[in-house]
Structure 1
Amino acid sequence: MPELLIVAHGQPSDPDPAEAALARFAARVQNETSDLTIRSATLAAPGRLEAAVAALPEKAAIYPLFMAKGWFVTSALPARLNGRAIPVLDPLGVDPDLPDLTADHLRTVIADRNQSPAETPIVLAAHGSGRSRNPARVANDFALALSGKLGAPALRVGFVEEQPSIEEAAQGLDTTAICLPFFALLGGHTIDDVPRALDAAGFTGLRMPVLGELPPVPALIARRGEACFHTAT
C-alpha cells in the first residue's frame, strides 16, 4: 500500500509533545482513507524524520503540514530525504480547496451563533515573518479568497512576527467577531502568542481552533495523497 508521510515543523525546545500531536493528527487522516498508510514525523525531533524516510516504501509521498511553501518546504525538508526522490506535495496553506472548505465550516459556526457572514468580523491570526514576504502573502491571499467565498466584508489579518500585529487587527471588535488562527497545528505561537495578543486587544469574540484542526482538513489531506498516487499510475 502506498504511504503518505505527513511532516510538520515541531517544537525544537520540546519535541516530544509536538511529535505526539502530529501522530494524533495523522491518525485522523488515516481514518479518512483506506488506500494509503499514513505516517508522521516532525523536523524538530532528532532523527525522527530520517528514520521515517528510511522506512518508506518505494511508493511514497510527503505531505508538508505547513501554511506556506517557504524555506522549510522547498529547502530544509528535501535536504533531509537521504537522497531519495520522494515527491513532496504542496503544503496545506496553499491548497486551492482550502478557502472553500473553511468558508463552509465558518458558515455553520456563524449560523450556530445566529449571525450572518455579513455581520461577523473575522480576524485571521497568522505567523508572518521578519525575513520573507511569502508567509504574509499566503495569509493575505487566503483571507481575500475566504472573504469572497463568504460574501463577507474584508477580513482583518494580523501577524505574530510582523505588522500589523494580531493585537492591532483584533482591536475594537465585539462579541460577534471570530478569530481563526492560520496555523497548521496547535503549538507555541497558538498556545501563547495568539491568545496573549487577543487578550491585549480586549477581544471578546469566538476563538476558533487552528485552521489545520478544523474537521474537513484530514479528509482534504487524504484526498491529496490519494490523487498523487492515482496520477502517478
Structure 2
Amino acid sequence: MSHAIIVAHGQPSDPEPAEAALATFAAKVNALAENVVVHSATLAAPGALEAKLERVPENPVIYPLFMAKGWFVTSALPKRLGNHPTQILDPLGIDPELPALTAEALRTELSDKHWAAQSTDLVIAAHGSGRSRNPSTVALQFAEQLRGLVAFKSVCVGFVEEPPSISDAANGTGDQALCLPFFACTGGHVQEDVPQELDRAGFSGVLLPVVGESPPIRAQIAKKLTEAFESA
C-alpha cells in the first residue's frame, strides 16, 4: 500500500485544533483515494510532520494544502522533510483544474439558491502578502479563469494582507452575493478576518466554505495522490 501526507500550514498560536481539522479532512480524502493511505500533518504543530514521516513507509507523496507555491512550499516544507525520500506535488492553489472544479461547486450553490449567475456578485477573499506578489497573482489568475467559466454579475478580489481589502471588494454588493474564501483550510483568517471585513463592508450575501473544503476538491486531491503513484 502506498502512503501520502497532506501538509498544511496550521495555526501557530493554537496548533491542536488545526491539526485535528486537517486529520478529519485527510480522512475524507483517504476514503476517495485508491490504494493510497492518506495521512496529515501541519507545519505549525511542533514535530507533527517529523513524527508522521517516521511512522509511514519510505517514499511517501507529500501534498501541500497551500494556495500558492511560495516560501512555505519551496523552502520551509523541504527543510522540514530533511533527508526523507519523498515526492512533493504541486500545491492545491496552482492545480490547473481548480477553477473548473470550483466553478462546478459555485454552479451547484447558485442552483440550490435559485439564483442566476448574471444577477449574482462574487467576492473572492484571499490571503495576499505584504512581501511577495506570488499569492495575489495566483488569486487574481484564479478569479480571471472563473470569470470565463461562470457569468457572474461581478467578480472582485480582496486580500487580508494587501490592498484592495476584502471590505473594498465587497463594498457595493447586494443581497444576492457570494463570498468565496480562496484558502486551503479554515483557519484564523477565515474565521476572524474575512467575516470582520465583510461586516465592515455591510456585506449581506452568503459566506461560503473555503475553496479547499469543496467536495470536488477533495476528490481532486484523492485523484492527484492516486495518479502520483500510478506514474511512479
CA distance in 1, matches of 2:186, 2:53: 24
Q: Among the aligned pairs, what percent are the same residue?
A: 56
Query: 1:153, CA displacement in angstroms?
Result: 4.6
Equivalent in the alignment of 2:147: 147
Contact 1:50 1:82 in 2 (8 A): no
**Match of residue 208 from structure 2:** 208
Other-structure match for 1:3: 3
Cα distance between partner residues in 2 of 1:43 and 1:106: 30
Offset from partner CA, 1:191-218 (integer Å, 9 cap, x none): 0000000001000001101111111111
The letter for the 2-side match of 1:30 is: N
Secondary structure, aligned partner of 2:88 = coil
User: Which one is further off, 123-132 or 82-91?
Assistant: 82-91
Q: Distance in 2 between matches of 1:37 and 1:108?
A: 30
Tell me how far apart the structure 2 counterparts of residues 3 and 231 of structure 1 sit (CA, whole Å): 14
Aligned to 1:34: 34
77-86 vs 173-182, which moves further = 77-86
The amino acid across from 1:201 in the alignment is A
Q: Which residue of 2 aligns with 1:193?
A: 193
Counterpart code for 1:168:
D
TM-superposition CA deviations, 1:111-141 (whole Å, max 9, x none): 2222221211100000000000000000000
Deviations 1:9-47 (A, max 9, x none): 001111000000000000110111231000000000011
Match of 2:46 in 1: 46
Q: TM-score, normalised by structure 2?
A: 0.97
Alignment-derived partner of residue 157 in structure 1: 157
1:173 aligns with 2:181: no
Whole-Å separation in 1 of the counterparts to 2:207 and 2:133: 26
How many angstroms does 1:61 deviate by? 0.5
The residue aligned with 2:78 is 78
In the TM superposition, what is the alpha-carbon distance from 1:154 to its structure 2 partner? 4.8
- Per the alignment, do residues 154 and 85 of structure 1 end up closer, same or farther by CA in structure 2, a change over 3 Å counting? farther
Question: Contact conserved, 1:174 with 1:205, CA < 8 A, in 2?
Answer: yes
Amino acid at match of 2:42: T
User: Bigger shift: 102-111 or 129-138?
Assistant: 102-111
**TM-score, structure 1 as length reference:** 0.97
Q: Does 1:114 align with 2:114?
A: yes
Q: Distance in 1 between matches of 2:30 and 2:220?
A: 11
List gaps (5 residues or longer) in structure 1.
none
For 2:136 and 2:165, locate their aligned partners in 1 and report how far apart those are by CA, in whole Å. 12
The equivalent of 1:23 in structure 2 is 23
The 1-side partners of 2:230 and 2:15 are apart by 34
Contact 1:122 1:180 in 2 (8 A): yes
Moved more, 209-218 or 127-136: 209-218
CA distance in 2, matches of 1:206, 1:154: 15
Instruction: Give yes or no for contact 1:5–1:38 (8 Å, CA) kept in 2.
Output: yes
